[in-house]
Structure 1
Amino acid sequence: MTERYEVIVCGGGMVGAATACALAHGGIKVALLERFNPERQWPPEPIDIRVSALTKASQNILEMVGAWPGMVQRGVCAYRDMRVWDARADGELHFDCADTEFNELGHLVENRVTVAALWDVLDSLPSATCITPAKVVDMQLNESSRQLRLEDGRILEADLVIAADGRDSTLRAMAGIDVTGWDYHQDGLVATVSTEKSHQFTAWQRFLDEGPLAFLPLKNGQCSIVWTLSSETSKSHLALADQDFLQVLEQASGGILGKMLDVGPRAAFPLRFQYANRYVDQRFALCGDAAHAMHPLAGQGVNAGLLDAAAIAELVIQTRQEKRPLSSSRFLRRYERWRKGDNLMMMSSMDVLNRTYGVTAQPLVGLRSAGMNRVNNSAWVKAYFNRYAMGLRDDLPKLAQRQICW
């Protein structure tokens, strides 16, 4: 027997779960498919190594769908300052929430915290169904629906299928959508560390020859590090004994947080610039990493994905309210136009920054450093960059502006 929904969202991570939440608030009959049932409870220690820096726009989305209180209860950490400096010269940037109307620039949150809070909300929404474990093994398009076949033999169909199943999206491949991109031949090495000095609720980032090293403040006083390294260096750093790794990390940090005292488990993931050549197909759309993957140096990947979620939910709900079919390609083309340009602009900016700070020729290093200091000394330019980094730019979805879309 075939199970029928209006929308099926594949991928129950932050972006997919946020999409399903927004749709269900709008009364859309939605199914969320995920391979594993996410954990909802865990011991207070250790902090998970998968952490995201959420912008004000992302906070707005998560507040509007009802997930933020559950996230605060589990633990979030506001950061109020951001300091960026160049290890090869005297260039420095300092962003302070005191220069904005907010009490913080953003929040550092474990990914599992966001996912758990979103799934808690989904449990309370009558038009939402969460299906786990669910592995899609086939997708077909017919006249009245997209039809999915799961590994356990179940058949599901919907007017629209949204793929939020990650950078290596299975459903994107099934839909025949190609990607464009390249490997950076870099890894993002992540870990949780204890430092001698307080993080002061500040996000610290030092640009080194192989890539930036970021120390992100956590609620328990530790820091989450994201260290961009060549794939070869990353592999060797993962193999170091803890004390040896801490020594290398302390040297790379320039001593900004004093001695490195302790480190938890380490992991690394390969970095890639990648975008889907199309965001949509008949009765089909891509969200989050399935649509775009960018360099993590400014932590914008998940924030871009949450904007995707808010945008497509708004358009689906609007289409339903106007009593037009969800199979209409009109709103899907609007979604692609809305989000693809913004995402490509952000991705390209991150790519240019990564390449700029990879330059080691001294004249260019001096020019780069002078540019940083000029921005740092210009209140207007800093304010612009501040708001952009906080996600508070033009043409935002309603949820990102703290407005309901249902």
Structure 2
Amino acid sequence: MTEHYEVIVCGGGMVGAATACALAHGGIKVALLERFNPERQWPPEPIDIRVSALTKASQNILEMLGAWPGMLQRGVCAYRDMRVWDAGADGELHFDCADTPFSELGHLVENRITVAALWDQLDTLPSATCIAPAKVIDMQLNENSRQLRLEDGRTLEADLIIAADGRDSTLRAMAGIAVTGWDYHQDGLVATVSTEMSHQFTAWQRFLAEGPLAFLPLKNGQCSIVWTLSSATAKKYLALADKDFLQVLEQASGGILGKMLDVGPRAAFPLRFQYANRYIDQGLALCGDAAHAMHPLAGQGVNAGLLDAAAIAELVIQTKREKRPLSSSRFLRRYERWRKGDNLMMMSTMDALNKTYRITAEPLVGLRSAGMNLVNSSVLAKTYFNNYAMGLRDDLPKLAKRQICW
């Protein structure tokens, strides 16, 4: 027997769960498929190494979806300043929430906290069905719908399938949507560290020869590090004893937070620039990493994905209100036009910054440093970059502007 839904969202991480949550708020009969049932409770320590910096726009979306109180309860950490400096020269940037209308620039949140709070909300929404564990093994295109077959033998059908199943999206491959991109031959090494000096609720980032090293403040006083390294160096650093790794990290930090006292488990993930050549197909849309994967140096990947979620949900709800089919290519093309350009702009900016800070030629290093200092001394430039980094730009989905879309 085939189960029928209006929309099926594949991938129950932050982006997929937010998409399903927004749709269900709008009365859309939606199924959320996830390969693993996400945890909802865990001991207070240790902090998970998978952490995201959420912008004000992302906070707005999560507040409108009702997930933010559950996230606050589990623990988030506001950061009020951001300090960026160039280890190869004297260039530096300082962004301060005092220069904005807000009391913080953003929040550092464990990924599992955002996911758990969204799934908690989904439990309260009558038009939402969460199916986990669920693994899609086949997708068929019918005249006005798509049909999914799960590993357990179940068959599901919907007017629209939304693929939010990650950078190596199974559904994107099944739909035959090609990607464009390249490997950076860099890894992002992540860990949680204890430092001698307080993080001061500041996000610190030092640009080094192989890539940036970021210290991101956590609610328990520790820092989450994201260190971009060549793949070979990352592999070497993962193999170091804790004591030796802390010594290398302290040297790389330039002593900005004093001695490195302790480190938890370390992991590294390969970095890639990648975008789907098309965000849509008949009765199918891509969201989040399934559509785009960018360098993590400014932590914008999940924020771009949450904007995708808010945009596709807004358009689906509007399309249903207008009594048009949810498989309509007209609204899907609107979604692609809306999000693809913004995402490519963000991705290209991150790519250019990563390449700029890997330059070692002396005249260009000096020019780069002078540019940083020029931006740092300009109120107009800093206001623009502050707003852009907080996600407060033109053409945002309604949820990102704290407006309901249902």
CA distance in 1, matches of 2:143, 2:177: 20
Code of the aligned partner of 1:203: A
Q: Show the counterpart of 2:377.
A: 377
3-state SS, counterpart of residue 181 of structure 2: strand
CA distance in 2, matches of 1:358, 1:270: 17
Q: Compute the displacement of 1:144 (Å).
A: 2.9
Identify the residue that residue 80 of structure 1 maps to in structure 2: 80
| Residue number in structure 2 paired with 1:350 | 350
Q: Summarize deviations over 1:169-208 as a string: whole Å, max 9, x none.
A: 0000000000000000000000000000000000000000
- CA distance in structure 2 between the aligned counterparts of 1:95 and 1:381, rounded to whole angstroms: 11
Q: Read off the aligned partner of 1:395 and give its amino acid letter.
A: D
Report the equivalent of 2:292. 292
* Distance in structure 2 (CA, Å) of the matches to 1:129 and 1:198: 44
Residues 123-162 of structure 1 aligned to structure 2 (within 5 Å): 123-162=123-162
Look up the SS of the partner of 2:18 in the other structure: helix
Map of 2:323 onto structure 1 = 323
Q: Distance in 2 between matches of 1:325 and 1:140?
A: 18
Q: Distance in 2 between matches of 1:327 and 1:10?
A: 16
Name 2:202's counterpart in structure 1.
202
2:332 is matched with: 332
| Partner-residue secondary structure (3-state), 1:16 | helix
Alpha-carbon distance between aligned partners in 2 of 1:130 and 1:142, rounded to the nearest angstrom: 24
C-alpha deviations, 1:67-112, integer Å up to 9, x for none? 0000000000000000000001000000000000000000000000
Give the length in aligned residue pairs: 406
| Structure 2 residue identity aligned to 1:56 | K
> Structure 1 regions of 5+ residues with no counterpart?
none
| d(CA) in 2 for partners of 1:84, 1:306 | 25
1:10 corresponds in structure 2 to 10
Name the structure 1 match of 2:52.
52
Q: Does 1:394 align with 2:394?
A: yes
Query: Match of 1:261, SS?
Result: strand
The aligned runs of 1:199-238 (5 Å cut-off) are 199-238=199-238
> How far 1:283 moved relative to its partner?
0.2
Mapped to 2, the partners of 1:354 and 1:265 lie a distance apart of 26
Match of 2:66 in 1: 66
Cα distance per residue 1:2-46 (max 9 Å; x no partner):
000000000000000000000000000000000000000000000
For 2:235, the aligned partner's letter is K
- Residue identity matched to 1:310: A
Amino acid at match of 2:169: S
* Alignment of structure 1 residues 220-299 onto 2, 5 Å: 220-299=220-299
Give the fraction of aligned pairs with identical amino acids, expressed as a percent.
90
Query: SS of the counterpart of 1:177?
Result: coil
For residues 66 and 319 of structure 1, the distance between their equivalents in structure 2, rounded to whole angstroms, comes to 23
* TM-score in terms of structure 2 length: 1.00
Equivalent-residue separation in structure 2 for 1:332 and 1:379 (angstroms): 39
Query: Take 1:111 and 1:302, find their aligned partners in 2: how far apart are those partners?
Result: 10
CA distance in 2 between partners of 1:183 and 1:143 (Å)? 38
> Is structure 2 residue 141 aligned with structure 1 residue 165?
no
Give the partner amino acid of 1:73: Q
Aligned equivalents of 1:89, 1:362: Cα separation in 2: 9
The one-letter code matched in structure 2 to 1:157 is: E
**1:298-319, CA deviations, whole angstroms, 9 ceiling, x for partnerless residues?**
0000000000000000000000
| Paired letter, 2:314 | E
What SS is found at the alignment partner of 2:311? helix
* Deviating more after overlay: 218-227 vs 141-150: 141-150
Q: SS where residue 188 of structure 2 aligns?
A: strand
The more displaced of 248-257 and 323-332 is 323-332
- CA distance, structure 2, for counterparts of residue 212 and residue 144 of structure 1: 47
Per the TM alignment, residue 145 of structure 1 is displaced from its structure 2 partner at its CA by 1.1
Q: Distance in 2 between matches of 1:30 and 1:386?
A: 36
Counterparts of 1:247 and 1:184 in 2: how far apart (Å)?
26
CA distance in 1, matches of 2:88, 2:357: 10
Alignment partners' CA distance in 1, 2:143 and 2:85: 56
Q: Hey, which bits of structure 1, 4+ residues long, moved more than 2 A?
A: none
- Stretches of structure 2 lacking an aligned partner (at least 5 in a row): none
Provide the rounded CA distance (Å) in 1 between the counterparts of 2:347 and 2:327.
30
Q: Check whether the contact 2:92–2:369 (CA below 8 A) recurs between aligned residues.
A: yes
2:144–2:283: 8 Å Cα contact kept in structure 1?
no
Q: Report the Cα distance in structure 2 between the residues aligned to 1:377 and 1:319, rounded to whole angstroms.
A: 47
Structure 2: distance between partners of 1:254 and 1:228: 16
Letter of the 2:110 counterpart: E
Contact 2:33 / 2:134 at 8 angstroms: preserved in 1?
A: yes
Q: Which residue number corresponds to residue 183 of structure 2?
A: 183
Q: Distance in 1 between matches of 2:131 and 2:382?
A: 45
Question: Structure 2: which amino acid aligns with 1:289?
Answer: D
> In structure 1, what is the Cα distance between the partners aligned to 2:14 and 2:24?
15
**Residues 318-338 of structure 1: per-residue CA shift (max 9 Å, x gap):** 000111111111000000000
SS in 2 for 1:52: strand
Tell me the SS of whatever aligns to 1:41. coil
